[in-house]
Amino acid sequence: MIRSPIVNFLHHLAMWAIAFLMIVPFLWIVSSSLKKPEEVFQEDAQLIPGEIVWSNYTRAFETMPVLLYSRNTVLITFLCIVGYLTSGSMVAFAFARLRWPGRDVCFVLLLATMMLPPQVTIVPLFVIFRHLGWIDTYYPLIVPSYLTGWPFFIFLLRQFFLSIPVDLGDAAKVDGASHFQVYSRIVLPLSKPALAVVAVFAFLLHWNDFFGPLIFLTQESKFTLALGLAVFSGNHPNEWGILMAVSILMLIPTVVVFFFCQRYFVEGITLTGLKQ
Amino acid sequence: MKLGKFLQRQAYDKEALAGYLFASPWIIGFVVFSLVPIALSFYYSFCRYDVLRPPMWVGLENYKTLFFDSPTFYHSIYNTLFFTVFRVPLVVVGSLLLAMLVTRERPGVRVVRTLYYLPSIVSGVALSVIWMWMYNPKYGLVNQLLASMGVPTPNLPEWLGSPKWSKTAIVLMGLWSIGGGRMIVFIAGLSSVPRHLYETAAIDGAGWWAQFRHVTLPQISSVLFLLTIVEIIGSFQVFTEAFIMTRGGPLNSTLFYNLDLYNKAFLDYEMGLASAMAWLLFAATLLITLFLFKVVGGRIYYEAAKPQ
Amino acid sequence: MNSASAMRPSNLLPGGVAAVGALLGLGLLVFVRPPTAEEHRGTALQLWYTTGADESKPQAPVWFNESQDEIYIERVGLPFMQIEQKFLTSVVGNVAPDLFEYFGSVAQWSARGALLPLDEFMERDGFDRSRVFDSLWGEMTWEGKTFALPTGVGCDAFYWNKDHFREAGLDPEKPPATWDKLEEFAHKLVVRNEEGEMTRAGYIPGYWSPMSVSGYPIFLFWPAQLGAKFVSNDGRKVNLTSEACVQAMEWEAGLFRRLGGDDLVRMRNSFGYADQQGFISGQVSMIAQKNSFVQELRKFAPELDYGVSLFPVPEGGHPSTTFGPVWIGIPACAKHPEQAWEYIKFYTTDDIQTRSAAYAVDHDQVAFFPANKTAAQSPKQMSVPHMPVFIESMKWGTPTTVVPLAHTVFYREYALAWDNATLGKKTPRQALLDAETEIQRALEGQLDYAEFYRKHLEQETAMAEDRG
């Protein structure tokens, strides 16, 4: 379809103008994090700081145990990713490649849980975890990823497994392979892209997770970055320079992951087969 | 013959066992983390309960309180509905428009797609903290931009500090992330529309708008529909922004349903009342989803299947 | 995928990033450890206290640890926005500390059975109640039992900017003594710029924190000055629609409108904390603030010439202030109640209280003044600016916990009513009536529940006795 050069030009203009609008807030918060407090609280603030200072970042490390919170977040995120990859793939395998009574009913239930508002279960979960003695530990945040996983991940992996030709598995079974061997020797290795997608999304999910830690963690030394930032913003409500610095510190890993694993984001969405 | 069938059955049983084994984590998890809590929360919704003391059965009293005696119940529903009705079309149409801008391969489009996607990875607490700063009435970027465009100071909205503007502020900040996953889905949908349909339409004399209405829209209707449903369900659960930025104020203008629930559960220790609220939310979500699927869903698939 | 493409940078990159990320993560896991408990001898007890912006820690535990070897108190600080919820979850989760020092309502915990009654300990060791300001005991008790001991107090007072007074031709040593005078002075102190915008407000009713609406604190002393009692004597009926309450709110709402309405809203929204605070930045001339404000003034506006007094009083009314105590208690499920009590005994002696006060003064941490009378009137404490005014206020105090069983609901509803009234969305009477209805509903539910729990406990003790 041939378009007039004017329309073409306008199209390009719109595209880049919106891209600029999307980026401006980033520029603004980076700039705020590098400004002196007096400059931050100016009615005619400039985008480029008059003087670049790193004090917001150093103060952030002084007033908030950033390294500790990062460690905690890394620990939880990593353990959860392992959980999703191992048990999630096993469960998806059961849905995709095995036949068992009740399988389809369970799959519908799985889809239904995606629609369940977390508020319905949070109070009883709290009571259950209390009886298990898990309040103020990391168990409530990690164990679910080894059991139910995240329904969306199981769904995604199942879709992917379905696309692997059945003959491969059948051939192996004729040779005497057990189901587990089909799973581990054939399906899993072929699923690296899908597993990578799950890992990337799981990382984003848990790095930013705030509600779980809010409810289940008590001691400050156990906090995650997201919870720490939330609490900090409540206790130091006006220290915008520091708040921006901490937000940026939190963002950096996610941005890095994004830039280098871009294609997994795209693949992740298209893998769900929504476009069919 | 009988031996063959017997062996087949054996294999089938073995497969069923393997199925259960492989699916066991999910089955256990489903029972413990979904089924039991759902049942418990249903029970609590008929009790007065503060987790410190045992539950006290009060029958339908919690529900009666919500429907007849609670000033915040209807207000929070209104706030949540306002938010949903305002936000869903903006976000869905917005990301569709963005997708339309960047679907076709042209110079620079990959860079632009990346720039569009970037804001969507900022989420939760960081997003709220950042926008609290952006919306600061005196020093934030939004008002500074407005002022530099000539808006006089008394007319600058107070954003999060104003009962009139607070919900709008939260809706508008969602526009920053429209270039995320939704846009990708739309791009995938748009690029799978067969080219020849457009060419046929163009030959028939159809202009840009007609092509959109009669070719694009029907082809992506199912994607559009699904994304809208997901968006609606998500909007019903808005919490973090209000919790971090406004705590429900000013004048309860950002008291969303979930925040009201949280307040009742964890600040007032009225876990029974909160459970009743949770169940009503669940019921509403289910009903609306079913309704949309039945009423609108049928038309969507009919449209998509219509011969061009 | 042949080997050539497998080696292309874009395929190696995610792997490389993952590797670097893994290394960094590993480094964090290995080298960053959560703070380990300090070296100690004896039984370890945990004391939870509230951390504020000034990151101060209570000193008494350190002295206690130094004075003996059997018990070691570990100080654990929790942020003030979360500490209530954390305490609840810890009690529920059976991971409660041994000692809890906080400044909110005691009864909301004691009514729920979360705190240990201390009367037996107090009787046995001969604790002298008159050591402490008398008005504080009401908050510590619930149904006749004492559940906490007061260790500190915070109260409200009236601050005014003397320089502004001079500029406006007012006598800087004479703060407004009546409500009418308050309004008169406020009008005189307003300053507007060429565009007619208000750049200095004389007084902003309700202003204290920049979270303007729907928040703390609520100034209950205004209606209290007219004699308002917010709840019946038996604690079963909330009363926010008494003539005193309605009159006070009508006055505040009217004052808000007469002093500028929208202008005040805009100014209030633009204020922040610390040096962005309205009074500290010189944009407000008179303000109701806590005794701890003295600290902030010293830190952020040392040059500001200000005065502190009791609040202006209405015609036919009497002075009042609201105060909130800091208290220390023992969670009901604590594992070492005896040892915990030993610490409390130590902490509440005149001597230690005076030392704590002196320490706080020396280190610029004067957020609260001691509940202990001797300590409050010690020379060090009295050297805090305007201390005499605060002590004088204690004679007229109204406690901040009015409805212990529905504490959060009370404040939320009252704040909402106040906002609705001052912004003209509802008449004061209607706003107060709506608040009263909602609080009463919550209270009645809680009273029923408390009754149910009492019966439940009776049944349990009866069953235990049968078995035993």
In chain C, count H helices and then E strands. 20, 13
Instruction: Give yes or no for residue C3 having a pLDDT over 50.
Output: no
Asked whether residue B106 is domain-assigned, the answer is yes
User: If pLDDT is split at 50, 70 and 90, which confidence band does C4 have?
Assistant: very low
Q: Give contacts of C14 with chain A, Cβ < 8 Å.
A: 196, 260-261, 264
Q: Give contacts of A229 with chain B, Cβ < 8 Å.
A: 125-126, 129
Asked whether residue C468 is domain-assigned, the answer is no
Residue that terminates a domain, selected from C290, C322, C354:
C322
Q: Which chains touch B (3 or more CB pairs under 8 A)?
A: A, C
Instruction: Give yes or no for residue C163 having a pLDDT over 90.
Output: yes
Contact A123 B185 (CB under 8 A): no
Contact B249 C214 (CB under 8 A): yes
Instruction: Give yes or no for residue C276 having a pLDDT over 80.
Output: no
Distance, CA of B263 to CA of B198 (rounded, Å)? 53
Q: Calculate how close chain C gets to B267, using CA atoms only, in Å.
A: 7
- Decide if C164 touches B, using CB distance below 8 A: no
Asked whether residue C466 is domain-assigned, the answer is no
* Residue to substitute from B98, B130, B227, interface A, most A β-carbons within 10 A: B130
Q: Note whether C238 and C333 are same-domain residues.
A: no
Q: What would the DSSP string read from start to end of C160-216?
A: EEHHHHHHTT--TT----BHHHHHHHHHHH-EE-TTS-EEEEEE-TT-SSSS-SS-S
Q: Calculate how close chain A gets to B303, using CA atoms only, in Å.
A: 15
Q: Give contacts of A42 with chain B, Cβ < 8 Å.
A: 139
Q: Note whether C202 and C150 are same-domain residues.
A: no
Contact B139 A43 (CB under 8 A): yes
What CATH code is carried by the domain that includes residue B100? 1.10.3720.10
Q: Note whether C163 and C304 are same-domain residues.
A: yes
User: Mind listing the domains of chain A with CATH numbers?
Assistant: 5-53 (no CATH), 65-271 (1.10.3720.10)
Asked whether residue B53 is domain-assigned, the answer is no
Q: Calculate how close chain B gets to C28, using CA atoms only, in Å.
A: 22
The pLDDT of residue C81: 67
- Closest chain C residue to A253, measured at CA: C21
Distance, CA of C349 to CA of C370 (rounded, Å)? 11
- Closest chain B residue to C86, measured at CA: B266
- Decide if A204 touches C, using CB distance below 8 A: no
Q: Note whether C349 and C285 are same-domain residues.
A: no
- Closest chain C residue to A43, measured at CA: C270
Most distant CA pair in chain B: distance in Å? Answer: 91
CB contact set of C235 (below 8 Å; sequence gap of 6+)? C403, C404, C405
What CATH code is carried by the domain that includes residue C171? 3.40.190.10
Asked whether residue B169 is domain-assigned, the answer is no
Asked whether residue C449 is domain-assigned, the answer is no
Q: Note whether C160 and C110 are same-domain residues.
A: no
Which tokens sit at A211? 């509600």
Asked whether residue B248 is domain-assigned, the answer is yes
Determine the Cα angle at B18 with ends B12 and B19, to 5°.
85
Asked whether residue C107 is domain-assigned, the answer is yes
State which amino acid sits at residue C383.
Answer: S
Distance, CA of C287 to CA of C303 (rounded, Å)? 17
- Decide if A235 touches B, using CB distance below 8 A: no
CB contact set of C96 (below 8 Å; sequence gap of 6+)? C87, C90, C114, C331, C333, C334
Instruction: Give yes or no for residue A102 having a pLDDT over 70.
Output: yes
| Higher pLDDT among residues C392 and A177, named by residue | C392
Phi and psi angles of residue C63, each rounded to the nearest 5 degrees, phi first: -65, -40
Asked whether residue B112 is domain-assigned, the answer is yes
Q: What is the pLDDT of residues C398-435, one digit of tens each?
A: 877 788 888 888 888 888 888 889 888 999 999 999 99
Between the CA atoms of A233, A237, A241 and A242, what dihedral angle is there, to the nearest 10 degrees? -40
Q: Note whether C273 and C350 are same-domain residues.
A: no
Q: Which helix (H) or strand (E) holds C323?
A: strand C321-329
Contact A67 C86 (CB under 8 A): no
Asked whether residue C21 is domain-assigned, the answer is no
The single residue listed with the structure tokens 């005691």 is C106
State which amino acid sits at residue C360.
Answer: A
Q: C323 forms bridges with which residues in the sheet?
A: C155, C399
- Closest chain A residue to B203, measured at CA: A1
**Strands (DSSP E) along A15-119, which ranges?**
none
Q: Which helix (H) or strand (E) holds B2?
A: helix B2-29
- Closest chain C residue to B264, measured at CA: C409
State which amino acid sits at residue C292.
Answer: S
The pLDDT of residue B29: 92
What's the mean pLDDT when you consider all of chain A? 84
- Closest chain B residue to A263, measured at CA: B114
The pLDDT of residue A276: 34
What ipTM was assigned to the predicted interfaces of this complex?
0.83
Q: Is the N-terminal amide bond of C217 cis, ω within 30° of 0? A: yes
| Burial annotation C85-117 (CB, 10 A radius, 16+ → b, else e) | ebbbbbbbbebbbbbbbbbbbbbbbbbbbbbbb
Distance, CA of C441 to CA of C307 (rounded, Å)? 42
Distance, CA of C415 to CA of A87 (rounded, Å)? 49
User: If pLDDT is split at 50, 70 and 90, which confidence band does A33 have?
Assistant: confident
Phi and psi angles of residue A51, each rounded to the nearest 5 degrees, phi first: -140, 130
* Coil/strand/helix, residue C71: strand
Contact C213 B251 (CB under 8 A): yes
Q: Note whether C140 and C206 are same-domain residues.
A: no
Q: Which chains touch A (3 or more CB pairs under 8 A)?
A: B, C
| Burial annotation A231-248 (CB, 10 A radius, 16+ → b, else e) | bbbebbbbbbbbbbbbbb
What's the mean pLDDT when you consider all of chain B? 86
- % of chain B at pLDDT higher than 90: 33
* Coil/strand/helix, residue C288: strand
User: If pLDDT is split at 50, 70 and 90, which confidence band does A269 have?
Assistant: low
Q: Note whether C65 and C89 are same-domain residues.
A: yes
Q: What is the pLDDT of residues C185-239, one digit of tens each?
A: 999 999 998 877 888 998 988 886 433 333 445 688 888 899 888 888 888 899 9
Cα separations in angstroms, C235 against B84, B263, C222, C232: 42, 24, 21, 5
Distance, CA of A220 to CA of C80 (rounded, Å)? 12
Q: Give contacts of A220 with chain C, Cβ < 8 Å.
A: 76-79
State which amino acid sits at residue A170.
Answer: D
Q: Calculate how close chain B gets to C398, using CA atoms only, in Å.
A: 23
User: If pLDDT is split at 50, 70 and 90, which confidence band does C438 have?
Assistant: very high
User: If pLDDT is split at 50, 70 and 90, which confidence band does C99 have?
Assistant: very high
Residue that terminates a domain, selected from C347, C366, C398:
C398
Q: Split chain B (308 residues) into runs of 10 and give each run's mean pLDDT.
A: 78 83 91 92 92 88 91 93 95 92 82 87 87 86 87 82 90 90 85 83 80 83 86 90 86 91 86 92 89 77 54
- Decide if A229 touches B, using CB distance below 8 A: yes
Q: Which chains touch C (3 or more CB pairs under 8 A)?
A: A, B
DSSP assignment letter at A164: S
- Decide if A106 touches B, using CB distance below 8 A: yes
Q: Give contacts of B244 with chain C, Cβ < 8 Å.
A: none
- Decide if B59 touches C, using CB distance below 8 A: no
Asked whether residue B140 is domain-assigned, the answer is no
- Decide if B48 touches C, using CB distance below 8 A: yes
Q: Note whether C179 and C307 are same-domain residues.
A: yes
The pLDDT of residue C1: 38
Q: Give contacts of B17 with chain A, Cβ < 8 Å.
A: 100
State which amino acid sits at residue C67.
Answer: S
Question: Region C281-291: what's the mean pLDDT?
Answer: 89
Range of the domain at C138: 43-154+324-398
What's the mean pLDDT when you consider all of chain C? 83
- Closest chain A residue to C76, measured at CA: A219
Contact C265 B267 (CB under 8 A): no
Residue that terminates a domain, selected from C322, C357, C384:
C322
H helices within C259-406, ranges in order?
262-270, 293-300, 337-347, 350-362, 373-376, 379-382, 387-393
CB C403 within 8 Å of CB C230: yes
Distance, CA of B7 to CA of C58 (rounded, Å)? 76
Do you know the residue count of chain B?
308
Total structural domains within chain B:
1
Instruction: Give yes or no for residue C466 having a pLDDT over 60.
Output: yes
- Closest chain A residue to C29, measured at CA: A71
Range of the domain at B252: 71-122+174-305
Q: Note whether C295 and C159 are same-domain residues.
A: yes
Q: Calculate how close chain B gets to A53, using CA atoms only, in Å.
A: 19
Question: Region C334-358: what's the mean pLDDT?
Answer: 89
Q: What is the 3-state secondary structure (H, E, C) of C372-441?
A: EHHHHCCHHHHCCCCHHHHHHHHHHEEECCCCHHHHHHHHHHHHHHHHHHHCCCCCHHHHHHHHHHHHHH
Question: Region A149-170: what's the mean pLDDT?
Answer: 84
The pLDDT of residue C181: 92
- Closest chain C residue to B152, measured at CA: C195
Composition of chain C by helix, strand, coil, percent to 5: 50, 15, 35
Which tokens sit at C80? 């003030």
Taking only residues 70 to 99 of chain B, the set having a beta carbon closer than 8 angstroms to any beta carbon of chain C reads 70-71
Q: Which helix (H) or strand (E) holds B217?
A: helix B217-236
Distance, CA of C468 to CA of C463 (rounded, Å)? 8
* Residue to substitute from A100, A139, A204, interface B, most B β-carbons within 10 A: A100
Q: C397 forms bridges with which residues in the sheet?
A: C321
Contact B56 C85 (CB under 8 A): no
Q: Give contacts of A260 with chain C, Cβ < 8 Å.
A: 13-14, 16-17
Q: Give contacts of C113 with chain B, Cβ < 8 Å.
A: 52-53
